[in-house]
Amino acid sequence: MRRTEFLAALILPMSLLAGPLAAQEAAPAADATAEATTVASGIGVFGAPKLPADFQHLPYVNPDAPKGGEFSMSWTGGFDSFNPYTVKGRAPILSTVMHESLMEGTADEIGAAYCLVCETIEYPESRDWVIFTLRPEAKFSDGTPVTAEDVFFTYETLRTKGLNSFRNVIAQSIAGAEVLDERRIRFDFVPGYPRRDVIQGAGGLPVFSKKDFEDNGRDLEASSPTPFIGSGPYMFDSADMGRSVVWKRNPDYWAKDLPLKRGRHNYDRIRIEYFGDSEAAFEAFKAGEYTFRNENSSIAWATGYDFPGIRNGHVVKAALPDGSKASAQGFFFNLRREKLQDPRVREAIGLMFNFEWANKALFYDLYTRTESFWDNSQLKAMGKPGPDELALLEPLAADLPDGILTEDAVVPAKGGERQMDRPALRRAAALLDEAGWVPGQDGMRRNAAGQMLSIEFMNDSQAFDRVINPYVENLRAIGVDAKMTRVDDAEYETRRYEFNYDIMISHALTDMIAGDGLYQQFGSQGVNDVFNPSGLSNPAIDKLIGAAVAADTEAEMVTATHALDRALRALRIWVPNWYNADHLVAYYDQYEHPAELPPYALGELDFWWYNAEKAEKLKAAGALR
């Protein structure tokens, strides 16, 4: 079972999530001719990007992929707003699909960014500033040109009215911006802030239409019944509020012939159907109400794909290789709660999740246990720290758990074949005793003040019921008053933003390059931010994040991330879940994709395409509704 979320469609890139909000004033522009500058159409973090300036298309796409057809998928829950940049309301999936950024990355390269809305970037060796020159042909879906004023308006709007994550990164990294002319805008960066990927950060900001905001009286902090417009390949088509939404391809998309975009964004329509629960969604797929499923249920994958569409070849079931970093999914503790601030309590609770039993009994041995916040990548800490890691950790050891300098990186304890693993029970009970939570006559654990150790799992996914319920049983067996509470979308969002939970299922939004988002995910500056579900605030972690973000070379970044991963795991802020090294997909046989997929994306919404001839055969056979 894998919980899948379209977080990337709803928040800014990880490199844009940063630290504290500070007072902002636009810095005066220095003379751009005072020092030698580089003018380019792309930039990398650790060296030049691999694509030459005259590349004709991305290496992993079919540049001649046909346009047309519809891609449809499901989602559970609902939506009541079209503004994904506010905590008010819940926006539909892909509600930022119309927004492009000045620069864009690729699915086969880490840390590189290429000009999209911009034509060139100009910057000095110091990277103290950058000038983006916009493409003259760039335009919004209403036909108005994308100008430097629109980019500046976006920057100002996010700086003053965006989510904390947007405001924080701008405050920490960007000192100011200035419109130089209709097509050129300059960003100056905060003195002393690491320069490694500041240009990619500024270039990753979405670009809003100032005219759209003014014409519609938009308030970025308010819920909105009106979808945004943008310069991207897709635009709003229609919606049944809370039930379905359709995004249509803009036939006049300005960038459709750019090398960066050839062979991409091939569907005429993308339709999202919402369902009340995952079982209803699966039944609708089998009936042909939608056509693509990225399977996140192991029981469905193992036992559910024996229906007529599979047997007669109308539906393709495939495990496609996934070379990306494993999703850092887990049960995250809310350290803002006093009862969860003792690491012994957290370790004891973690011991009672028996993954080995769950994988065999519930998951059909489909998954691998997650051990690291950077699993399935070179950034995962392993074994004992080496000399380079020790150089970072030794000055910080007083703020980290004992053993950080001498012991192997923390990994979850191996469970047994039975749901209740006796060695884990004994160890967990001993830890709770040490922490002052002792069992009373009723078997339930209380502290010296007589307060019962009560733990609630907040869960908004039906698919997780069968995982959490046995976990709750194990915890109650050692005297913890554990329970699972199922919540709907609205309550989940409200409680998440109010930090009103003990344990919730979440993802650590780590990346293959340590970026500013780590401050939001784990830093003290993000302790009151929704992207820090654990509420972690630790000075050693802050310093390790700083070392990883400031690293000038890839080797230094890897070492610092190893040390950070090691320290985070030692603090036991989560109970890690599991991952699968493949994309598990099922789809009606009307879609095609390149023979070799890139390592870091499945690309079903990006560079797959629709085969009209196959689709007609499916319709003639009555396979689709």
In a 3-state reduction of DSSP, which class is residue 393? helix
74: helix, strand or coil: strand
Tell me, what's the pLDDT at 67? 98
CB contact burial 458-475 (16+ within 10 A = b; e otherwise): bbbbebbeebbebbbebb
Output the pLDDT for position 53: 87
Task: Round to whole Å and give the CA distance between 467 and 394.
Answer: 39
The per-residue pLDDT for 371 is 98
Q: Is residue 3 part of a domain?
A: no
Closest CA to 154 of 226, 92, 203: 203
Q: What is the pTM of this model?
A: 0.85
> Rounded to an integer, what distance in angstroms lies between the CA atom of residue 473 and that of residue 43?
52
Residues 221/161, Cβ–Cβ less than 8 Å: yes
Domain that holds residue 459: 341-576
Query: What CA–CA distance (Å, rounded) separates 583 from 580?
Result: 7
Q: What is the pLDDT of residue 582?
A: 94
| Vertex 26 angle, CA 88 and 140, to 5° | 55
- Tell me phi and psi for residue 204, to 5 degrees: -90, -5
Phi first, then psi, for residue 507 (nearest 5°) are -125, 140
**AA letter at 530:** V
With both helix axes pointing from N to C terminus, report the angle between 343-351 and 422-434 in degrees, rounded to the nearest 10.
160
Q: Over the range 104-125, which residues count as b (16 or more CB within 10 Å of their CB) and which as e?
A: bbbbbbbbbbbbbbbbbbbbee
Terminal Cα-to-Cα distance of the chain (whole angstroms): 28
Q: How many CB atoms lie within 10 A of CB 496?
A: 18
The pLDDT, as a whole number, for residue 32 is: 46
CATH number at residue 428: 3.10.105.10
Distance CA 285, CA 260 (A): 33
Averaged pLDDT in 10-residue chunks for the chain of 625 residues: 33 32 32 76 93 95 98 94 90 96 96 96 97 98 98 96 78 94 98 92 96 96 95 97 96 97 98 94 97 94 96 97 93 98 98 97 95 96 97 98 97 95 97 97 96 97 93 98 93 92 94 88 87 95 95 95 98 97 96 96 97 97 92
Q: What is the pLDDT of residue 534?
A: 96
Residue 355 included in any domain: yes
CA distance linking residue 302 with residue 320, whole number of Å = 16
Number of domains in the chain: 1
CA distance 492 to 514: 29
- The CB density around residue 70, as the number of other CB atoms within 10 Å, is 17
DSSP symbol at 395: G
Strands 234-240 and 269-275: unpaired
Q: Cα separations (Å) of 200 from 13, 102, 174, 553?
A: 10, 9, 12, 16
Would you say residue 496 lies in a domain?
A: yes
* DSSP E strand boundaries for 471-524: 481-486, 503-508
**Which distant-in-sequence residues (6+ apart) come within 8 Å of 611 by Cβ?**
66, 69, 590, 591, 592
Q: Provide the strand spans (E) within 463-517.
A: 481-486, 503-508
What is residue 231's three-state secondary structure?
coil
Report yes or no on 240 lying in a domain: no
User: Secondary structure of 155-201 in the HEC alphabet?
Assistant: HHHHHHHCCHHHHHHHHHHEEEEEEEECCEEEEEECCCCCCCCHHHH
Assigned domain for 71 exists? no
**pLDDT attached to residue 171:** 87
For residue 3, the model assigns a pLDDT of 33
Whether 186 is in a domain gets the answer no
Q: How many CB atoms lie within 10 A of CB 208?
A: 25
Please state the separation of Cα 210 from the chain's center in Å: 27
Residue 178, domain member (yes or no):
no
In a domain, 388, yes or no: yes
CA distance 229 to 262: 22
Of 277, 269, 200, the residue nearest 233 (C-alpha): 269
In whole angstroms, what is the distance from residue 599 CA to residue 583 CA? 11
